[in-house]
Amino acid sequence: MRPALIIILSLVLLLTACVITQNQGDNMEIFDVLIHGGTVIDGSGNPGVKADVLIRGASIVRIGAVNISNISAKEIIDATGKVVTPGFIDSHAHGSPAQTPEFKNYSGMGVTTIVLGQDGSSATDISAWMKQVEATHPAINIASLVGHGSIRDLAGVKLNPDPSPEDLQQMADLVDDALEAGCFGLSTGLEYQPGSFSKLDELIAIAAPVGKRGGLVHSHTRNEDNDAIENSIAELVAQGAGGGCAVNISHLKVVYGQGKQRAQEILAQMAIARNEGVFLTADIYPYLASYTGIGIVFPDWAKPPYQYEEVVKTRRAELSAYLKQRVILRNGPEATLFGTAPWAGKTLGQLASELNKPFEDVLIDDIGPDGASAAYFVMDQELQDQLFIDPYVMVCSDGSPSMRHPRAYGSFAKVLRYYVRETKMLDLEQAVHKMTGLPAATLGLVDQKRGLLKVGFAADILVFDPNTVTDKATFENPHLLAEGFDRVIVNGVSIRAAGDFTGDRGGKMLRKISKPGNNN
């Protein structure tokens, strides 16, 4: 063959090869992230399946077997031997996005979305607050409720136990405005002021716009004590029935209650409400100590609008007797562990011993109803476990980055350690459902394509080994981060990789899209 012909044939072959290679490149799909080789637990409660997950931008675009040779991914995450789940949703959380936009305590235990505005307290100008949250570029997603107490303050009702019909309408209108701005529902704190001054007609009036817009009422009920819990739940059910809305019991517990049978009585009451048309759920943190202000042990008549100093002066003996009985009923002074300076880490019993005076005098003279916050060891393990495993109960932390309680740093990891691995009360799919699909459906986040691993849903995703996840926080050292969540992805952004925080933030300010008449 002549040299010229050989050259021409070589050029033709080279050009053909270039065209084939170019066509292959043109046909190769490009993605941002491939999570390869893991077991996908989608959050629905269904069994996990082996599958790969492809992410493009902020969304999941494919779930299933992927031929790596046919795609191009900017990042490939090896999930071999691990599970891939939706990011966890904390249905009852506290904190300030402006002060701690990274929220490391939450993402450290796999939480990618938190719900703020709890216990009746929220921003009064919801729209402005939401814009401020967006400006902080939080690491995780933020959703919010509008607080009943804040609405009372904004309407000028404050501590008035008998608001007028015009006041009730104004409060209802303010709730409606907040829902229009994007709140997912209403929160009440009926054990706290000013919510404690409200009556059922008021609760129904402010629930009506929630029902109209398909929202949810989250309630810190009026009294969580064993002898009052049924009445408190009945009041919430009546609010839901009157307002035409779903209702949720915040941090369900039975203070002083004991045993499995007592839990079953409470769960039966909740089931009856659902059967009668009021959709009722609850959330629980997996600890036996609550945490709130010390005012919880003081009588209403020692708190505003009454003057505390005057009460001490004129009714000291009565106050002392009340406090002594109340604290003893709550398992004694050693069961109250202070979480605020200058007494943080000490029990009421220890403080009384140091000051060489009765604990009731310490409460009256040294602390007062607004002087401290504390953890209170007032719950029974068997009872709380039975409540927790109910299919209508989801997981929350009721924590904040600064709170001196391990629930703020460990709740979701503890669920996997205690309820799945150690006691085997739940299988992994059930536990994941309680932390993803269930709260998403209850809050309305599924409508926004969150809470499940599905094509088209937001890429809020965890990759972890369920056998190594553990909570590290204790009451002595409450700010220790959970371990084992190797990869945390929020809206397609890896905020935690190889067990460490990346410094990136992927969160959004979530807004519920609601329209009048959307009661679903």
Per-residue pLDDT tens digits for 346-397: 999 999 999 999 999 999 999 999 999 999 999 999 999 999 999 999 999 9
Q: Who wins on pLDDT, 91 or 21?
A: 91
Domain boundary among 405, 432, 457: 457
Half-sphere exposure of residue 202: CA atoms within 13 angstroms, side-chain side? 25
d(CA 112, CA 481): 15
Residues 221 and 233 in one domain: yes
The angle at the Cα of 397, spanning 438 to 93, to the nearest 5 degrees, equals: 90
d(CA 473, CA 102): 19
Q: Is 158 strand, coil or helix?
A: coil
Query: Do 302 and 311 form a contact (C-beta atoms < 8 A)?
Result: yes
Residues in the chain: 520
Kindly report the backbone phi and psi dihedral angles of residue 402, in degrees, each rounded to the nearest multiple of 5, phi listed first. Answer: -100, -10
What is the per-residue DSSP string for 316-358?
HHHHHHHHHHHHHHTT-GGGEEE-STTSTT-BHHHHHHHHTS-
pLDDT value of residue 291 = 93
Complete edge-to-edge strand list for the sheet that includes strand 111-116: 88-90, 111-116, 141-144
pLDDT band for position 7 (cuts 50, 70, 90): very low
Residue with tokens 């409606």: 176
Residues 158 and 274 in one domain: yes
pLDDT band for position 9 (cuts 50, 70, 90): very low
d(CA 475, CA 377): 11
The pLDDT tens digits for 485-518 are 999 999 999 999 988 999 999 999 999 986 554 4
25 domain-assigned: no
Residues 366 and 429 in one domain: no
Residues 388 and 333 in one domain: no
Q: Is 51 strand, coil or helix?
A: strand
Q: Is 435 strand, coil or helix?
A: helix
Query: Do 303 and 193 form a contact (C-beta atoms < 8 A)?
Result: yes
Query: Do 167 and 199 form a contact (C-beta atoms < 8 A)?
Result: no
pLDDT value of residue 27 = 66
pLDDT value of residue 17 = 39
The pLDDT tens digits for 184-193 are 999 999 999 9
184 domain-assigned: yes
Residues 158 and 230 in one domain: yes
Q: What angle separates helix 165-181 from helix 126-136, to the nearest 10 degrees?
A: 30
pLDDT value of residue 514 = 66
71 domain-assigned: no
Q: What is the CATH number of the domain that holds 224?
A: 3.20.20.140
Contacts of 153 (CB under 8 A, 6+ apart): 124, 194
Query: Do 290 and 375 form a contact (C-beta atoms < 8 A)?
Result: yes
Q: Is the model's pLDDT at 22 over the cut of 70? A: no
pLDDT value of residue 13 = 40
Kindly report the backbone phi and psi dihedral angles of residue 18, in degrees, each rounded to the nearest multiple of 5, phi listed first. Answer: -65, -40
In the structure encoding, which two tokens stand for residue 394, read together? 């989801």
Domain boundary among 377, 405, 421: 377
Q: Is the model's pLDDT at 26 over the cut of 90? A: no
pLDDT band for position 152 (cuts 50, 70, 90): very high
Residues 111 and 190 in one domain: yes
The pLDDT tens digits for 126-138 are 999 999 999 999 9
Query: Do 46 and 454 form a contact (C-beta atoms < 8 A)?
Result: no
pLDDT value of residue 69 = 86
Total number of domains in the chain = 2
pLDDT value of residue 68 = 87
Q: Which of 79, 168, 173, 10 is nearest to 463 (CA)?
A: 79
Residues 328 and 428 in one domain: no
Which amino acid appears at position 401 of this protein? P
Q: Is the model's pLDDT at 15 over the cut of 50? A: no
Average pLDDT over residues 422-445: 98
Residues 140 and 235 in one domain: yes
Residues 116 and 180 in one domain: yes
Domain boundary among 439, 457, 475: 457
What percentage of the chain exceeds 70 in pLDDT? 93
Mean of the per-residue pLDDT values for the chain?
93
pLDDT value of residue 28 = 81
d(CA 499, CA 381): 31
- Residue range(s) defining the domain that contains residue 128: 87-288+381-457
pLDDT value of residue 381 = 97
451 domain-assigned: yes
d(CA 327, CA 2): 106
Its pTM stands at 0.91
Q: Cβ of 71: how many Cβ atoms within 10 Å?
A: 16
Q: Is the model's pLDDT at 4 over the cut of 60? A: no
Lowest-pLDDT choice from 14-23, 28-37, 268-277, 468-477: 14-23
Q: Which of 281, 193, 200, 199 is nearest to 238 (CA)?
A: 200
Start-to-end CA span in the chain (Å) = 80
Average pLDDT over residues 10-24: 39
Contacts of 454 (CB under 8 A, 6+ apart): 42, 60, 63
34 domain-assigned: no
pLDDT value of residue 499 = 82
Give the 3-state DSSP-derived string for 162-194, with helices as H, strands as E and coil as C.
CCCHHHHHHHHHHHHHHHHHCCCEEEEECCCCC
Residue with tokens 């009021």: 278
pLDDT value of residue 516 = 55
Q: Which helix (H) or strand (E) holds 388?
A: helix 381-388
d(CA 171, CA 239): 15
d(CA 377, CA 365): 23
In the structure encoding, which two tokens stand for residue 104, read together? 């490391």
17 domain-assigned: no
Residues 180 and 319 in one domain: no
Q: Is 30 strand, coil or helix?
A: strand
Residues 180 and 213 in one domain: yes
505 domain-assigned: no
Average pLDDT over residues 16-31: 54
356 domain-assigned: yes
Query: Do 416 and 424 form a contact (C-beta atoms < 8 A)?
Result: no
pLDDT value of residue 513 = 82
Which amino acid appears at position 227 of this protein? D
Residues 398 and 348 in one domain: no
Average pLDDT over residues 35-39: 97
d(CA 376, CA 337): 6
Q: Is the model's pLDDT at 58 over the cut of 70? A: yes
d(CA 18, CA 23): 9
Q: Is the model's pLDDT at 107 over the cut of 70? A: yes
